[in-house]
A and B are shown apart, each in its own frame.
Chain A
Amino acid sequence: MAEQSTVFIIDDDEAVRDSLSWLMKSAGLLAETFASADAFLNDYREDRPGCLILDIRMPGMNGLELQSVLKERRYRLPIIIISGHADVPMAVRALKAGAFDFIEKPFNDELLLGHVQRAIEQDRHRREDMAALYQWRARLDTLTPREREVLDLVVAGASNKKISGELGVSTKTVEAHRARVMEKLQAESLSHLVRMVISAREG
């Protein structure tokens, strides 16, 4: 599918971000480096998958601030916080604010790469789910109001007879609506239809 995942590295220390980029490359991952949070924000587009490695202590906008900006913009890129040992309280705050993980300098490369892999995986899943959801919503929008009513009653477990009673139409008409709904939503079976409706609600 679409684009390959990228590891976005933000650290004010050039050696650190360069060495991280080298480490990612050695593991076969694409990496892009930024010297500041602002530089990243100027460059990044939401549709680019991957994860973020963020130094919590930086001049200008620090890691925590960037995290809240991303949250405001509804960018859901997973964030791995890196920090020196004295920054534990800040790291805890970052985690509470929804960071994916937190790792102390200097890094254990296996550990860091493991986190990065998992973060990329999570991001990919999320993006697939989102795509499915958008597709579903697009299909749902093709239903007429009457078909929506029939769909809601079907998912609620009502029989055709009951639906015809509720809507004041014949059973035959109900069956015709139902067939249109199944077709428009590309549902293979009743159970498939119900599952899709429920997962779309949860998303």
Chain B
Amino acid sequence: MSRFIDIYNKYGTIIILFFLVLIVTIVSPNFLALNNILNILQQVSVIGFIALGMTFVILTGGIDLSVGSILALSGMVLGLMILSGVPELLAILIVLVLGGILGFTNGLFISKIRLEPFIVTLATMTMYRGLTLVISDGVPAMGITSNAPVLDFLSQGNLLGIPVPTLLFLIVFLILMILLQKTIFGRGVYAIGGNEEVARLSSVPTGRVKTGVYVISGIMSAFAGVILTSRLSSSQPTAGTGFELDAIAAVVIGGTSLAGGRGRIFGTLIGVLIIGVINNGLNIMGVSAFYQQFIKGLIILIAVILDRKSNK
């Protein structure tokens, strides 16, 4: 019996994912068609990048509400640069740096002026969205990938039969997992989430680590912006609205505590897949639009309750 509990503790979220897949497959067998699996893996990469960054932030006990706006702003900057003829690789690089700067701004207000992360990122969420509207005049930029082979490859390409966004997501996941689990920075992230004062006394550079997690979150959001822009071949000023909630949900479902200090980035990977399976499954099963939101919320709630039980 204790063996079973051990397994459940370790693989709780995976079990939830497994049952979700099972239920959707029984109701609608074409869910497991290769086409649809690839479709899900491709779709979750956007939320996935954001959720990976969000994991670092939440592990420090913080929150980043500005991710959707950073996605929109970087996507719009990317689109406008491509349309005005900036070389693709340069444009992508600039946008990732921009995401880092936007995250750095969040981090400065949080670590130096010691404002609440919720308030700071709520404010910058509005500001970054506003900047997106300013630079775009509120008009979407269209036809971006028609002369941009690299961007087109990033969203539509395949390597060894796997969609490129999915591969990129897995590579970034591995890099961030090493960063979190094998470096001093990673240990600092957990230490701050556990007890910031103790972390500071044991000479963790708390200010720099806290700023760092928002920089990571910003870069990841910009990355998501690049992928989404190339997937849609268009920069939408309203892109990414509400993405912060899906990302936070994925992190929490993955077993990371909102209080900080406890959680694994592997859990986030599973959480992202769960969100993706829910979104796709509800459409595949043909669940009425009116019920979808309610059911999605309910599943998130159940997943979190089960996970908490397993962690006790």
A and B found bound together: no
B interface residues, Cβ below 8 angstroms from A: none
